[in-house]
Structure 1
Amino acid sequence: MTPLPTPLDPTSAAFLLAENRNMPMHVGGLQLFKKPEGAGRSYTRDMFESMRDEPEIAPLFLKHPHRSVRTGAQLVWRPDEQFDIEHHLRHSALPKPGRVRELLELCSRLHSTRLAWERPLWESHVIEGLRDGRVAMYTKVHHALVDGVSAMRLMASTLSTDPDQRDMPAPWAPRTPTARKPAPAETSLADVPMSALRGALGLTAEAAGMPGALVKTISKGLKNETSAISLHAPQTIFNQPITGSRRFAAQDWPIERLRGIGRATGTTINDVVLAMCAGAVRSYLLELDALPEAPLIAMVPVGLNAKQSHIASAEGGNAVGAVMVQLATDRHDPARRLSAIHRSMKDGKEALSSMTPTQILAMSAIGQAPAILTPIFKMSGLVRPPYNLIISNVPGPRSTQYWNGAELVGHYPLSIPINGMALNITCISYDGKMGFGLTGCRRTVPHLQRLLTHLDDEVKALEKAAGI
C-alpha cells in the first residue's frame, strides 16, 4: 500500500521556498576514510557496490516534495515510486595528481548544484583517486529533509568504534531497534536559525517576561555591547548578493594545540576557534584592501544551561541560542583580540542565561530576522547587515570511528551561504582534531583557500602570544 503524502512543516517548506539558483539550501559533509589493512585494488569499487546494493531504503531517503492542484498548492512529502539508487549514489575518481586540492575542487562543484524536487533530496559520492590511498565520501542533503542535529546523529549511527565489524549498512538503510550500538555524538549547535524560528512560532505563555528581556537586549545592541541582536555590523565584501557557484576549503588542527592556548590564556577552546577565524578573516580582508574600521560581528550558536524551572518542556535544561560576537578585527595584536572575544562571548552567554529557553529561542529568531528578510526584500547592500558571517563549532565523536573496517580520519562540514552572507565557517571536533569547513560564494569570496593559510598563521601567532 502506497503511503499517503504528508504535509511539510512550516520550517521545511520555508527552506524549499527560499531556495533559488543562487542559493541552494542543502548542507553537506566530506568524510575521509583510511582503507583497512590488506584492502585490495577493488576496495573502493566494492565499497560503492555494497552501498548501492542495500536491499532496503529508509523512508526518509525515499520522499520528495510535491505540490499540485490536488494538494491545494500545499507542499507535501511524497514517496518516490521510481527510486533509482544510482542517481543518488555516484562513484567518482579524481584527476591526477590526486591531491586534496582536486578533492576540494570537486566538492565545491558538487555543492554548487541544486537538488531536484522530483527526486528524494540527497546525493552521496564515493570518491577514489587520492594519491595517498584514502577514500573520500561527499554527501549532501537538503535542509528541508534534515537539520544539523539529525545529520550528526545519522552519521553517528553509521559508524562503529569496532575496527573488525563488517556488517554495517549504508547510511540510507532502515534503522531497527536491534541494530548495532551507534557511535556517540553530541548535539549539534549548527542550526540555531531553524531552532530559533521554530521556537518563535511556538511562543505561548512561556514567554512571560519577554518584554523586559527584549528591552534589555535591544539596549545592549544599541550600545554596541554583546547580545543576541546586533545593530553595529559593518558592511563587508561578504555582505552582498551571491551567485550559485561555491568554493569549499577544509583543514584540521590538533585540539590539544587549541586547548593549550586556552589554558595559557584563561579562555575556552571555542574562544580560541573564534580568535583563529577572526585573525584569519582580518588578514584575508587586509590582503584585499577590504578590512572595515569597525570590528566584524559573527553570529555564534551557543549551548546554555537555562532556567528549566520556567519551562517544563526543556529537555535536560539545555537550550540553544545565538550570540552576536564582536571579533575585534580592528585590533592588530592576537592576544588582545582573543581577550576581547572571550569577554564578548562571556557577556553574551550571561545575557542569555538570564532568560528561559523559550525566550532564548525567540530572541535568537529576532536576531536572525534581518538576515532572513534582507535577501527576501532585495535590500542587500542597502542596509547594514545584522552580522558579517556565521561561525559554528559542532561537537562530534571523541573516539576513532570505523565503517566496515575503514577508519574515519577526517570529517568536514559544508554549509549554506545565503544572499547577504557569503561566508560560513563550521567546525567539527572529532578524535582529537578540529576540522574547519569553509563554504563561500566563489565570486563574492575570491581565493577562499587563502583563509586556510591565515588560520594556520593565526594558531602560531596565538601560541606565540600565549608563550607556548
Structure 2
Amino acid sequence: MTIELLAPIDLAFWHLESADHPMHLGALAFFTAVRGTAGGAGVLELLAARAAAIPRLRMRVRDVLLPVGGSAWAVDKGFDVLRHVRWLPLPDGDFAAEATRAAGELMERPLERGIPPWEMYVLTPEGETAEDADEDGRPFAVLVKLHHALADGMRAVTIGAGIFDQIADARAAGVHRVRPVPPRSWLPGPWQVADLAMARIVELGRAVGIGASVVRASRLDPRGTPALTAGSSGTRRLATAVLDLEDVQRIRRAVGGTANDVLLATVAGALRRWMLARGERLPVTAPRALVPVSRRSPGSPPGSGNKLSAYLLALPVTEPDPRARLAAVHGNMARNKSGGPSRGAGAVAVLADQLPAFAHRLAAPLAGSAARMLFDILVTSVPLPRSTLSLGGCPLREVYPMAPLARGQSLAVALSTYGGRVHVGLVADGKAVPDLERLARAMTDELEELLRVI
C-alpha cells in the first residue's frame, strides 16, 4: 500500500499550531437564495454530500514509524461528514455583520485532530426555513476552514471549489477525470543517480543562501508598531472590505507595475491611515510584510503538498505621498521578483524541504516564535476561478479569504478577486485590534485617494 507522507512544509504547519495560533485557512462566502432553490436552510445536505465526495476531505493525519517524526495522510475509516458540516442560525439584524462576527469567533477554534482537519458552517438568519428563502431571497453564508497542512491558497481553492455547482457538475460528468500515470521503475539508472545528486547539491546550496539571508534580515529587537505587535489573546476578529477591480486596473495602467503592486500599496496606505487615526506614532522602521508566492509552475496541477515561498516587503507607511508609496512598493517587488521565489529571507519556507521529519517536531514551535523577528504582517492573495459560481442554484455574491496569524502578530490581510471586485479579509487578534473595522474602511479610502492622485 502506498503511503502519502506529509510534505515537509505541511509537516511544519502541522506542528506550528498551538491553542492560541490555530493554523487553518478560511473563507466566508455570501450567497443569495433565489426562487426555485432551497436557499440557506436547505443547502446543508447538498454541501455535506459534495464535501464527502472530495477524496482529500476524507483524509486525516497519522504518525508513522519511518521516517522518524514523520506523518502521513490516511483515509479516515470512521469518516462522518456531519462532524464537519454544521448549520448555525444567526441572530436577527444585519446579516452580513452577524455572519462576519460569527466567522471571526469560529476562526478562533483549532480544528479537531484525529479526524480530517476541516470544517464548514452554513450560516442563516435565525428561524429561516427553505420556504422563507424561496419567497424573499434572503441571504445565507458558508464558512470554510481548512488546515494549512491540508491546503495552501491554490490547493484550498481547488478543494473548496468542489462544493460549487459548476465544478461538482463537471466532476460528475467526468470532465476532471485524472489520467493514470504510467508506472516508473523504483530503481534509478546511473544518469538518474547523477542528476539526483546534482539536484541535491543545488538544493543544499540554495538552502545555505536562504539561511544566510534570514540571519541578515532577522531583527534581534523586533519591537515595532504597537498595533501589529500586541500580545496574543487567542481571540479572533474578522472585518471585510470590497475594492473595485476596475479602479485597481485604472491605477495600474496609469502608473505601471502590477495590480498586486497597487493592492500592496493600498494596504500600506491603509495601515498609515489606521495608525494615525489611533493616535500612534508612525514606526521609525517600516513594518515588513510577508507576501506568499506559489512555487508551482503555471498550469501545473495543484498536487498533494504545499509549494510555498514568499517575498519580504517593507511597507512604506511613513511616506505621506500615495504615488511615492506605490512607486516604493513596485520597486521593492520588482527586486524581489528578479531574485525569484527561492532566494532571499522571504523564502524561509523553502528551508523546510531540507529538514528531516523529526526536526520539524522540535523546530516548528521555535520557528513560530521567531516569526516576529522576520516580519510584522502577512499579506496574501488567493486566486479564484473567473467564472460565476453558485451553490444549489444560489449565486455566490462575495467571498472573503482569511489567513492564520503567526505567533507575536496580531493582523493578517488576505485578498481575492471575484465578480470584478477585490474582496479583502482582515483577521486580527480580537483584543489587540478591537477597531479592525476602521482599518477596513481605510482600505477603501486609500484606493480612492490613489485614484484622485494618478
Higher relative contact order (CA 8 A, sep 6+): 2
Q: CA deviation at 1:137?
A: 0.5
Q: 1:283 maps to which residue?
A: 273
Moved more, 57-66 or 360-369: 360-369
Query: Does structure 1 residue 427 correspond to structure 2 residue 423?
Result: no
Q: 2:23 maps to which residue?
A: 25
Aligned partners of 2:65, 2:396: CA distance in 1, in Å? 47
Query: Does structure 1 residue 261 correspond to structure 2 residue 263?
Result: no
Aligned partners of 1:411, 1:211: CA distance in 2, in Å? 37
Deviations for 1:44-101, whole angstroms, at most 9, x for unmatched residues? 2221123345696444222323459999876444433333322211112221113321
Q: 1:189 maps to which residue?
A: none
Moved more, 74-83 or 115-124: 74-83
Seen in structure 2, the aligned counterparts of structure 1 residues 296 and 46 have a Cα distance that, compared at 3 Å, is same
Secondary structure, in 3 states, of the residue corresponding to 1:278?
helix
Q: Is the 8 A contact 2:292 2:380 kept in 1?
A: yes
Query: Does structure 1 residue 61 correspond to structure 2 residue 57?
Result: yes
Aligned partners of 1:455, 1:92: CA distance in 2, in Å? 30
Aligned partners of 1:157, 1:90: CA distance in 2, in Å? 17
Alignment of 1:128-277 (within 5 A): 128-129=124-125, 133-159=138-164, 168=169, 178-179=174-175, 204-207=200-203, 210=206, 218=213, 229=217, 235-237=224-226, 238-277=228-267
Secondary structure, in 3 states, of the residue corresponding to 1:345?
helix
Secondary structure, in 3 states, of the residue corresponding to 2:406?
coil
Secondary structure, in 3 states, of the residue corresponding to 1:16?
helix
Q: Is the 8 A contact 1:63 1:80 kept in 2?
A: yes
Alignment of 1:448-467 (within 5 A): 448-466=436-454
Note the residue ranges of structure 2 that are not aligned, 5 or more in a row. Answer: 127-135, 179-197, 298-302, 353-361
Q: Is the 8 A contact 1:67 1:73 kept in 2?
A: yes
Q: 1:364 aligns with which of 333, 347, 372?
A: 347
Q: Is the 8 A contact 1:398 1:432 kept in 2?
A: no
- TM-score, structure 1 normalization: 0.74
Q: Is the 8 A contact 2:154 2:383 kept in 1?
A: no
Q: 1:106 maps to which residue?
A: 102
Seen in structure 2, the aligned counterparts of structure 1 residues 43 and 304 have a Cα distance that, compared at 3 Å, is closer
Q: CA deviation at 1:214?
A: 6.0
Structure 2 counterpart of 1:111, one-letter code:
M
Q: Is the 8 A contact 1:90 1:124 kept in 2?
A: yes
Aligned partners of 2:372, 2:110: CA distance in 1, in Å? 29
Aligned partners of 1:10, 1:342: CA distance in 2, in Å? 32
Structure 2 counterpart of 1:30, one-letter code:
L
Secondary structure, in 3 states, of the residue corresponding to 1:204?
helix
Deviations for 1:327-358, whole angstroms, at most 9, x for unmatched residues? 11111121211121111112222233xxxx7x
Q: 1:294 aligns with which of 259, 265, 285?
A: 285
The two structures, once aligned, show a CA RMSD in angstroms of 4.0
Q: Is the 8 A contact 1:375 1:420 kept in 2?
A: no
Q: 1:188 maps to which residue?
A: none
Moved more, 102-111 or 74-83: 74-83
Q: 2:129 maps to which residue?
A: none
Seen in structure 2, the aligned counterparts of structure 1 residues 74 and 344 have a Cα distance that, compared at 3 Å, is closer
Query: Does structure 1 residue 120 correspond to structure 2 residue 103?
Result: no
Q: 2:424 maps to which residue?
A: 436
- TM-score, structure 2 normalization: 0.76
Aligned partners of 2:177, 2:259: CA distance in 1, in Å? 29
Q: 1:333 maps to which residue?
A: 321
Structure 1 counterpart of 2:29, one-letter code:
Q
Secondary structure, in 3 states, of the residue corresponding to 1:439?
strand
Q: 1:49 maps to which residue?
A: 45
Structure 1 counterpart of 2:26, one-letter code:
G
Structure 2 counterpart of 1:245, one-letter code:
T
Deviations for 1:197-220, whole angstroms, at most 9, x for unmatched residues? xxxxx97133487499669x849x
Comparing both structures, which one devotes a greater share of its residues to helix?
Answer: 2
Q: CA deviation at 1:301?
A: 2.9
Note the residue ranges of structure 1 that are not aligned, 5 or more in a row. Answer: 170-174, 183-201, 223-228, 307-314
Aligned residue pairs: how many?
A: 406
Structure 2 counterpart of 1:12, one-letter code:
D
Identity within the alignment, %: 26
Secondary structure, in 3 states, of the residue corresponding to 1:272?
helix
Q: Is the 8 A contact 1:66 1:117 kept in 2?
A: no
Q: CA deviation at 1:26?
A: 1.0
Q: CA deviation at 1:427?
A: 0.6
